[in-house]
Copies of this chain bind each other. A is one copy, B any other.
Amino acid sequence: MTFDDFHAIIPAGGSGTRLWPLSRRDRPKFLLDLSGSGRTLLQQTWDRLERLVGPDRIHVVTGAAHADAVREQLPALRHIVVEPTPRDSMPAIGLAAALIETRHRGAVIGSFAADHLITDDAAFGRAVAEAVTVARTGLVCTIGITPSGPSTAFGYIEAGRPLGLPDAPGAVAVTRFVEKPDAATAAGYVAHGGFRWNAGMFVATASTLLDHLARLRPALHQGLLALAANGPSPDPARWDELEKIAIDHAIAEPVAAAGGIAMVPGEFDWFDVGDIAALAQLRDERDGGSRDGVLLHDADGLVIDSPGRSVTVLGIHDVVVIDTGDAILVTTLDHAQQVKELPAAWAAHGRPDLT
């Protein structure tokens, strides 16, 4: 099969306050090299998609405050859509879809978050190919991640009957999308086996997506078409009139209820570095050992040190020490959910520069 009609959209947004002080207002999560690979999350997402479709068929949608940084990190980027203000994922993806449809009638689009980690590019490519095949039938197709455990950090997608498509043997109908569950519910989903994680990957023809939008959110659809006619830099005043809504609520949930969503399995590793606990898991620093510049003495946890400085932890387990040069955060892994309160707390203490 060929990907010639397939265009990738990378919505690069989100503040990532749960990873403060690594992530800041002007340096959000997707601009960071959290895996220590030498490439930022955005760059890794680009690399993965660029291998599938080349640089000409990738659109990055990002906020005005981050456009320069995105251009700097992706010198081969040719299509950038700049959001004057954040209005959640539906306007971002919808505008990119409208722009692509204008120039490439009949195109298939796929949306992939800028801040997720995937290392098995081949398996990712196979899943996208299968999703594109499904999308060409007029369905919206998501890629469901095989759960590695009963996580409460992600939404789940319930699988329905197999679609029986010869070129997409793994494709099933989606019964419903469910929000982040509690621990017992998550355990039930994983035990049941018919649920996959929602990684926010949606593949559809641009016209399918826009048709759903025209039916479900006509004002938003009208607004997006009008803006798209003027190119990838929307007028701020008109942009701000658009409804602020996520694609999950605008399309995925209602269309699933009407039987219009399919799912193919994502049999690749997938990691959402959602908070410091996820980062600790990614970095796997919990061995209690020491390395150059870091001494864990009767201690273990996650330590991110700064060049030219040493960090010593004595007697605290599951510690988190993040030193970014200007800011040092000290906490423990079980406070991962509270980290997001800290930028606001600093702002309240008269230090918005630290947020």
Contacts and interface: CB of A to CB of B under 8 A. Distances in A.
Interface of A: 21, 290, 295, 297-298, 308-316, 319, 321, 323, 325-332, 334-335, 338-339, 341-342, 345-346, 349, 351, 354
A338 to B, nearest CB: 6
Contact of A295 (B314, B323, B349): B349
Given A297-B345, A312-B330, A315-B331, 5 more contacts: A308-B326, A309-B326, A310-B351, A311-B330, A315-B338
The 7 A-B pairs with the shortest beta carbon distances in the complex, nearest first, are A314-B331, A315-B335, A313-B330, A310-B327, A312-B329, A311-B328, A314-B335
A332 B332 CA distance: 12
Given A310-B354, A327-B310, A316 B290 contact: no
Contacts of A309: 325-328
Given A330-B319, A330-B330, A312 B349 contact: no
B312 A338 contact: no
Contacts of A323: 328
A315 B315 CA distance: 16
A295 B330 contact: no
Contacts of A310: 326-328, 346, 351, 354
Given A297-B342, A308-B326, A332 B349 contact: no
B330 A316 contact: yes
A302 to B, nearest CB: 12
Nearest to A320: B314
* A319, A329, A334, A354 interface centre (most CB from chain B within 10 Å): A329
Nearest to A353: B310
Given A295-B346, A297-B345, A314 B338 contact: yes
A330 B21 CA distance: 17
A327 B326 CA distance: 14
Contacts of A346: 295, 310, 312
Contact of A321 (B330, B341, B349, B354): B330
A323 B309 CA distance: 10
A336 to B, nearest CB: 10
Contact of A297 (B21, B325, B334, B338): B338
A21 B312 contact: yes
A70 to B, nearest CB: 27
B332 A316 contact: yes
A305 B173 CA distance: 57
Nearest to A330: B313
A346 B294 CA distance: 9
Given A309-B326, A328-B323, A314 B297 contact: no
A18 to B, nearest CB: 12
* A308, A310, A342 interface centre (most CB from chain B within 10 Å): A310
6 contacts: A290-B349, A295-B349, A315-B338, A316-B330, A323-B328, A328-B328
Given A290-B349, A295-B349, A349-B290, A327 B342 contact: no
A295 B316 CA distance: 19
A339 to B, nearest CB: 7
Nearest to A351: B310
Contacts of A312: 21, 327-330, 342, 346
B341 A297 contact: yes
Contacts of A330: 311-314, 316, 319, 321, 330
